Amino acid sequence: MLASSAIMTIRFWSWIHVFPLISLFAIQPGIWGQASGQTARLETADTKIVVEAGAQGPRLTTLSGSGQGSWENLASEPLIEFVEIGDEKIPLHWQFDRDASHSDEKSVSFVYESATPHLRLTWLWKAPQPYGPVEHQIRIENLSSQELWIPMQDSLDFNWKVAPQLPLQHLFVEKGANTPSAVGTHEAAITDGYRWTGAASTYGDIRDDEPREIIPWSLVQRQDLQAGWYAGIEFSGRTRISLERTKDSLRGAIGLNPDPAPFGTRLAPGESFESPIVFLGAFRDGPDGAGNVLHRWVRAVLGNPGTWHNPHYPLIVNNSWGGGMAVNEEVARRMIRDAADLGVEMFHVDAGWFRGVGDWYPNPEKFPNGLAAIADDAHQHGLKFGLWVDWTQAGLSTHPGALNARDPKVRSWMVTDIPKDWEPEPFKGQTIDLGVPEAKQWAQKEVERIVTDYRLDMLEHDGYLVAHGCDRADHPHAAPDPLNKCVYKTWGAYFVDSSNSTDVSYHAVRAYYDIYSKLRRDHPGLLFEICSDGGRMVDFGTAAHGDYFSITDTYDPVSNRRAFHDTSHVLPAAMLESYVEKWPTPHIENFRYMLRSGMMGWLTIMIDTNTAWSPEQHAAAKREIDVYKTELRPLIRDANLYHVSARPDGVHWDGEQYWDPERQRGVLYAFRGTVEREDTHAFVLRGLDPSRRYRVKFFDHTSPDRTISGRELMGKGLKIKLPLQNSSEMVFIERAQRRQ
């Protein structure tokens, strides 16, 4: 149970008695600064913070959690020091406004004001749930009567005091993006001199010469305690997390990406800048201990309650991309019939259905009766209907209603001028900047029309929805730097890089969130799949605006398992979609291995099952889909997840384990790789009670069912024997009634 409380006191000396863990170092006058004496405390079952309002700036004083001491912060939060009005740079003098500040059990807001120009800065902390991390945001309002420009304000900046020899470890996770890389989940020792920056945007892995993007999240643990803290960013624009250790200090910054500099954003009179919300949590029991709390928290705080209330979430889907762009009415109807027979729950039409890029109307040659007829057919077969749309891309179609790149209005929304001979790719065009109010309005109307006219239960967005950078000086974002600008073409579209790129993404992402928030309000129950050429938009901002993610754009079994292994460290498994594509399956065991590699989260089959699957494979798939719905789905939704092997490499064995402590049930997914001699492997299970006995049932009967003690399962492990390479087993685990 949480002890959620907030203390507002002017006697700041008093709390050192309350928090004996905090050393006297923290309250030496020089470090304390000119304390106004106002402190507050925010607490969940996992995370405790103490914050302090100095006269000129606020400070996160300590972060602590059970199983570890406190992390003392040596630095006040750096607040922006100047604004620009016209060509003039005006220094700011922030003053604490005690009367406007507020603190209660669930939130703390310290307010600072600048007299000239008149600005208000609100430094916010929230505990949205009684467990898990706390959230932090900084809001800057322009209360003056003039337009002004503000420089970079980070979301969170800290400098933990750490003992010089303290063994610290850093964990961060790449996006699955186009293809999961060879590493994916990174574990690095944070030794003296460690310097790291991880960046995220909506374009992960678009250029070979840039480092892989991270899911904007990082975890730091004390190796001796398996405890520490983690932080993440609830925003999809250009963000970064940086860490630097020097002797007794671990500095970090989390927020928008200041690179390329200089960042500036415009504030009209009355407008506000809101730093991306970050969350900060303490954890114990290692990265899986952190992940299992964070999964629940993401579901409760960021997730759509309507989605999670549906007991059929996550759904099983069949998608038309197995046949590429060749989808048509006949293919769709045939796939719907077979999907219904297999027990699939949604039919998803991928790219290829439309007249042209930007012209999001059904191609009359492929769909002579329109798309609503296909939706009706799916519904009559008991299936939901989903649709792929790349709705921010302009093409060259001249049909009424199409987003035509040559239309002067549309041209002014696009991120750069395109040459006269430009043509879109079959399903990719030129991105418009949603940060332009007219463009946003058009997009809002267009997605509303698509959802209504085509009777959608699910809308998937793809392509590059958010402008990468923008060449225009007349958009709401900052103008590009003409001397430091790069325009390049890749995948049939033009991209811009300049010092305004972060501000461009700040505006475009907020517009995208507005569009989806309204769509969700107007269509409760409508599902959103987040896709950006695969898993390039996997972050906590999209987690708050969509229902599930395409986690990679490579669909073979090992890539699916790698992307799942990585992403499931931070996001709920139910939100993690694997597309299962056609793969060589000479034996039925290989077929089950292929399916199960995508069955640990949200399963989307991307195969025309009519033509690709034999009767034996149909029967096997039917059984797998049935066990997914009855046994696996409840675990994927609610259970704890343990990464019980090294990251999958396709060569050695790998596996993931679910364990639901409420229902005392779980499952081990075991996958055998390609090493000829390795036909057995023992998985050391987690989360069980060593003093209890557990019934283990081998779904494929590769070993006899039996009862095993928790001590053995968590010690020697659960032995699996699989004679074939590229095969698998699912072992269901249930607590036996009798004590040991």
Q: Which residues bind Zn ion (CB under 5 A)?
A: 433, 470, 472, 475
Looking at 147-300, list the stretches that DSSP marks H as alpha helix, in order from N- to C-terminal side. Answer: 286-297
Which CB atom, from 39 or from 505, has the smaller least distance to Zn ion?
A: 505
3-class secondary structure for 30-44? HHHCCEEEEEEEEEC
* Nearest approach, Cβ of residue 434 and Zn ion (Å): 9
Which CB atom, from 170 or from 475, has the smaller least distance to Zn ion?
A: 475
Which CB atom, from 135 or from 503, has the smaller least distance to Zn ion?
A: 503
Cα separation of 345 and 364, whole Å? 27
* Nearest approach, Cβ of residue 200 and Zn ion (Å): 20
Which residue minimizes CB distance to Zn ion? Answer: 470
Which CB atom, from 230 or from 506, has the smaller least distance to Zn ion?
A: 506
- Angle, vertex CA 126, rays to CA 123 and CA 128, nearest 5: 160
Of 174, 234, 241, the closest CA to residue 535 belongs to 174
φ/ψ (deg, to 5) at 448: -60, -45
3-class secondary structure for 622-637? HHHHHHHHHHHHHHHH
Which DSSP category does 530 fall into? E
Cα separation of 452 and 461, whole Å? 16
* Nearest approach, Cβ of residue 565 and Zn ion (Å): 37
Q: Which amino acid, one-letter code, is at 62? A: T
* Nearest approach, Cβ of residue 487 and Zn ion (Å): 13
* Nearest approach, Cβ of residue 435 and Zn ion (Å): 6
Cα separation of 689 and 738, whole Å? 13
* Nearest approach, Cβ of residue 16 and Zn ion (Å): 51
φ/ψ (deg, to 5) at 83: -130, 165
* Nearest approach, Cβ of residue 520 and Zn ion (Å): 25
Orientation of helix 329-342 relative to helix 372-380, angle to 10°: 20
Residue 271 in tokens = 């407008």
* Nearest approach, Cβ of residue 358 and Zn ion (Å): 18
Which CB atom, from 433 or from 553, has the smaller least distance to Zn ion?
A: 433
Cα separation of 678 and 723, whole Å? 9
Which CB atom, from 472 or from 569, has the smaller least distance to Zn ion?
A: 472
Q: State the residue for tokens 């209660």.
A: 104
Total length of the chain: 740
Burial label for 716, CB within 10 Å (0-12, 13-18, 19+), is exposed
Q: Please check whether residue 167 is in contact with residue 191, taking contact to mean a CB–CB distance below 8 angstroms.
A: no
Q: What is the largest CA-CA distance in the chain?
A: 79
Which CB atom, from 136 or from 477, has the smaller least distance to Zn ion?
A: 477
* Nearest approach, Cβ of residue 414 and Zn ion (Å): 8
Which CB atom, from 435 or from 541, has the smaller least distance to Zn ion?
A: 435
Cα separation of 728 and 212, whole Å? 30
* Nearest approach, Cβ of residue 121 and Zn ion (Å): 27
Cα separation of 77 and 154, whole Å? 9
Which CB atom, from 332 or from 436, has the smaller least distance to Zn ion?
A: 436
Orientation of helix 615-627 relative to helix 329-342, angle to 10°: 60
* Nearest approach, Cβ of residue 548 and Zn ion (Å): 29
Look at phi and psi of residue 226 and say left if phi exceeds 0, alpha if psi is from -120 to 50, else beta: left
Which CB atom, from 433 or from 654, has the smaller least distance to Zn ion?
A: 433
* Nearest approach, Cβ of residue 57 and Zn ion (Å): 33
Q: Under DSSP, is residue 721 helix (H, G, I), strand (E, B) or coil? A: strand
Which CB atom, from 177 or from 470, has the smaller least distance to Zn ion?
A: 470
Write the CA distances from 334 to 331, 339, 374, integer angstroms: 5, 9, 11
Which CB atom, from 209 or from 474, has the smaller least distance to Zn ion?
A: 474
